[in-house]
Amino acid sequence: MKTINGKKIASNLNEELKETLQKLKIKEDITPTLVVILIGDNPASKIYVKNKKIKADEVGINSSVKILDSKVTEKQLLDYILKLNQDKEVDGILVQLPLPSHIRTNKVIDAISYEKDVDGFNSKNIGLLAQGRPYVTPCTPLGCLKLLQTEIELFGSRAIVLGRSNIVGRPMSYLLTNHNATVTLAHSKTKNLKELCKEHDIIIAATGIPKMIKKDWVKEKAIIIDVGINQIEDKDNNKVLVGDVDYNDVFSRVRAITPVPGGVGPMTIHCLMENTLKLSMLRRKLKYNF
Ligand code: NAP
């Protein structure tokens, strides 16, 4: 029984990244640049964007936030992305999701040059990942992978991913496959999910259903990565964040589990910073080896 301390692991990785960025500045005079586009005034999106900017400042990445009105047209947004694609100073472009309903998310994501697609969401990057030759890997799955690698040899392991979204579940299943795990990708139409979960050494939960996974779903000594971030009210009517796994219920049965908060979240932001550095080096044909 062990908690996987994502906050601490991310903090150590951020320190290493900071040093790498300092060396890059001294040796090559390069400071990677990230542009985040925020549309409208969704409160959760504003917080996510603010946290990304704070972390970029901390590790030494140039970052700017472009705020666009919620009534911006799809064409205006696409034109702006095109400008950023052509801007030699920009290494990474991130469009904060969700977008207003009059804008097609896929169209926007695919408009970002794959070489600047720091989230790794566009169809070229997902295709490359699915083929086992990734250029840039989506941040949340990459963060989950790094956490798993602190605990288990993935080679030959059996992993189940709950959730098949384009930003978490699907890319997670490709990434685990690329690392030689045998992967089951489950979703809301999967039958006998509880029994299926019990057959796996690793559970990655990304359904958005609070505390869905209980002790009797879990194989003895399994490792659980809980991606879910769900706000619920506790018995005193206080708002609290919980994952997709009932942490207290499963704890005595598992080998290791990530908490919510303090598990996957900090790793997602770390991987965004790492991806920005990676893209800036790849674009300049510099050696990238971490
Ligand atoms: P999403 O787009 O809503 O996808 C949820 C997935 O879960 C869908 O594929 C859905 O299946 C599946 N699902 C729903 N009910 C299920 C059930 N009863 N059994 C099995 N599968 C079920 O969500 P998302 O964007 O992937 O996010 C998932 C969770 O992770 C959310 O809580 C989100 O807040 C969190 N998240 C955290 C981070 C982080 O950095 N920690 C990053 C991203 C997301 P269908 O496809 O059949 O509908």
Q: Report, as an integer, the average pLDDT of 52-62.
A: 98
pLDDT digits 0-9 by tens, 204-249:
999 999 999 999 999 999 999 999 999 999 989 999 999 999 999 9
Asked if residue 290 has pLDDT above 60, the reply is no
Catalytic residue among 91, 117, 119, 246: 119
Q: Does 169 contact ligand 1 (Cβ within 6 A)?
A: yes
Using DSSP, state whether 21 is helix, strand or coil: helix
**Catalytically annotated residue among 55, 91, 96, 146:** 96
Cα 165 to ligand 1 centre (Å): 6
DSSP label of 100: P
Is a pLDDT exceeding 90 seen at residue 121?
Answer: yes
Decide if 50 contacts 183 (C-beta within 8 A).
no
Q: If residue 289 lies in a helix (H) or strand (E), which one and from where to where?
A: none
pLDDT at 69 over 70: yes
Question: What CA–CA distance (Å, rounded) separates 267 from 244?
Answer: 17
Q: What is the pLDDT of residues 163-187, one digit of tens each?
A: 999 999 999 999 999 999 999 999 9
The ligand 1 atom nearest the CA atom of 244: 32
- Please tell me what DSSP assigns to residue 216: G
Question: What distance in Å separates the CA atoms of residue 89 and residue 114, rounded to the nearest whole number?
Answer: 16
Q: Does the annotation mark 52 as catalytic?
A: yes
Residue 32: is the preceding peptide bond cis (ω within 30°)? Answer: no
Residues in the chain: 290
Binned at pLDDT 50, 70 and 90, residue 106 comes out as: very high
User: Which residues, in sequence order, are CB contacts of 220 under 8 Å at separation 6+?
Assistant: 253
